Amino acid sequence: MKKVLALLLVLVLAIGMFAACGTDSGNNEETKDTANNATTEGGNDETKPSEENGNNTEGKTLKVGMICIGDENDQGYTYNFYRAKDSVTEKMAAKGVTLDWNIITNIGEDDGCTDACVELAEAGCDVVICNSYGHEPYMLNAAPDYPNVQFIGCTNLNSQFAGLDNCHNAFANIYEGRYVAGVVAGMKIKELIDSGKITADQAKIGYVGAFPFAEVISGFTAFYLGARSIVPEVTMTVKYVSSWSDATAEGNAAQALCDEGCVLISQHSDNTTPATVAQQNGVFHVGYNNDMTGIAPEASLLSSRIDWSVYFEYVFDCLVNGETIAKDWTAGMKDGAVVVTELNEAIAAEGTADKIAEVEAGLADGENVVITRDVEADKQDDMTYVLEFTTEDGSTQSFETLHYETTPISLKSVDAAAGATPIAFAAPEQ
């Protein structure tokens, strides 16, 4: 399939750098990590312009600080950063560059993050990476005092507007991976319909979402469109848990979706409980951040995730070669920054692997779908969008019922030094 999205109505909703992440814990537990030889899916050379520029990097050492909202034991969000750390350490070592990692875990979205930034800067780190969206205002409080230290806000927005040369934000087009995951889900649902296990009227999927947040909405929209490209009759219910990481709440939401008749569930949340609940209820599952087939082998089909090693390698190449780091970085599947984990062939529908390859090829060409609006509409509820794309055989398909999704928002002030006002999305009252 070709040009299935770049995207979506997320044209409306995504605004690239609004993102999600972690937990609300705040234990200042510091760990010192060294490299191991982990490998990851994905990755190519298109986002690494400094790799072969003739600069001599042999024997250089970079001291890297990373502040994590959780720890590697979450087997989800922060674990994904750890695997990126391991992968990029190996990649940079091959270039003669040693990475000296200093990692502080379980740092909440509060003043503890400012303290952690100061601690790492004072320790002589060349770069400090914050892995949670909510870390950013606290990072921006610390950054002005350390102009020679580069500060990275992953999944963030305001670093590019803060007027600080040493602050940067980065995110990836994860909605691309979610679309692919939706296609995988659709293939499984079609198999269930074709085999007579469910009817088309029972083709209902569920989604555990953290908050009614731009990235969450774009993600489940992409997932739904992927599933609907295979099964046009499919419907979807979204339940928010009002937390980036709450294993119990995520499990309860997943159970509620199962109780409501969902035959497959997915998630934008940090823990594995939606996967285990799916297996307990005999329904199927698509994960996020980590391969969850190990803990739910009879339910979980695959997961989508960001391969942060692509961005990290770009940053470290810039540092060792004296190049400027982009203020606002993003990349997608064509750059290896968005990947899907290995397909669980034991339970996946026949032909799914071939369909994944087909859809990924369409995304990797970097072309977009056409999104049009009914210009006669003068009310938001009447704003209907048409998603059109061309399949490999040249036929055109479209979805004609896409709409804006509205969420209440509030503005919160930050330290004046930050020079930015982030937008906080609040969950609707029940």
Query: Which of residues 195 and 45 earns the better pLDDT score?
Result: 195
Q: Which pLDDT tens digit goes with each residue over 6-27? A: 333 333 333 333 333 443 333 4
- Residue pair 154/308 in contact by the 8 Å Cβ criterion: yes
Strand partners for 238: 207
Helix (H, G, I), strand (E, B) or coil at 113: helix
Report how far residue 183's alpha carbon sits from residue 244's, in angstroms, rounded to the nearest whole number: 25
Chain Cα centroid distance, residue 239 = 18
Question: What's the rounded mean pLDDT across residues 24-34?
Answer: 38
Q: Per-residue pLDDT for 404 more than 50? A: no
Cβ atoms of 100 and 52 closer than 8 Å? no
Is the separation of the CB atoms in 385 and 174 below 8 Å? no
3 has a pLDDT exceeding 90: no
Assigned architecture for domain 16-172+307-335: 3-Layer(aba) Sandwich (3.40)
Q: At which residue do the structure tokens 């970097």 appear?
A: 366
Nearest partner of 337 among 132, 42, 77, 87, judged by Cα: 42
Count CB neighbours of 315 within 10 A.
Answer: 24
Model confidence band, residue 393 (pLDDT cutoffs 50, 70, 90): low
The pLDDT, as a whole number, for residue 55 is 54
Cα-to-chain-centroid distance, residue 243: 15
Pairwise pLDDT comparison (10 vs 378), residue with the higher score: 378
The strand ranges marked E within 223-367 are 235-240, 264-268, 284-288, 300-306, 328-329, 338-340
Confidence (pLDDT) at 390 = 54
Mean pLDDT of the chain: 78
> Which pLDDT score, from 0 to 100, does residue 44 have?
35
Query: Is residue 104 within a helix (H) or strand (E), and if so which, with residue range?
Result: strand 97-105
CATH architecture of 174-305+338-403: 3-Layer(aba) Sandwich (3.40)
Chain-centre distance of CA 278, in angstroms? 21
Dihedral, CA of residue 195, residue 199, residue 200 and residue 203, to nearest 10: -90
3-state helix, strand, coil in the chain (%, to 5): 35, 20, 45
What does the alpha-carbon distance between residue 241 and residue 70 come to, in Å, rounded to a whole number? 18
What is the per-residue pLDDT across 322-331, written as a single tens digit (0 to 9) for each?
999 999 999 9
Contacts of 378 by beta carbon, 8 Å cutoff, 6+ apart: none
Q: Residue 213: what pLDDT? A: 78
Lowest average pLDDT, out of 128-132, 160-164, 279-283, goes to 160-164
Cα distance from N-terminal residue to C-terminal residue, the chain: 39
Give the tens place of pLDDT for each residue, 77-96. Answer: 888 999 999 999 999 999 99
pLDDT of 99 above 90: yes
pLDDT tops 70 at residue 416: no
- CA–CA distance, 413 with 418 (Å, rounded to integer): 10
Find out whether 26 and 112 touch, Cβ atoms under 8 Å. yes
Residue 106 buriedness (CB in 10 A; 0-12 / 13-18 / 19+): buried
The pTM assigned to this predicted structure is 0.72
More confident residue, 249 or 211: 249
Whether the per-residue pLDDT at 375 is higher than 60: the answer is: no
Residue type, position 8, single letter: L
Res 295: pLDDT: 92
Distance CA 361, CA 392 (A): 10
Model confidence pLDDT, tens digit, residues 330-359: 998 889 999 999 999 999 999 999 999 988
Mean pLDDT score, 356-373: 65
Distance (Å, whole) CA 327 – CA 152: 9
Mean pLDDT of 258-278: 94
Burial of 36 (0-12, 13-18, 19+ CB in 10 A): exposed
Domain with CATH 3.40.50.2300 in the chain: 16-172+307-335, 174-305+338-403
- With 60 as the cut, is the pLDDT of residue 4 above it? no
CB atoms within 10 A of CB 407: 16
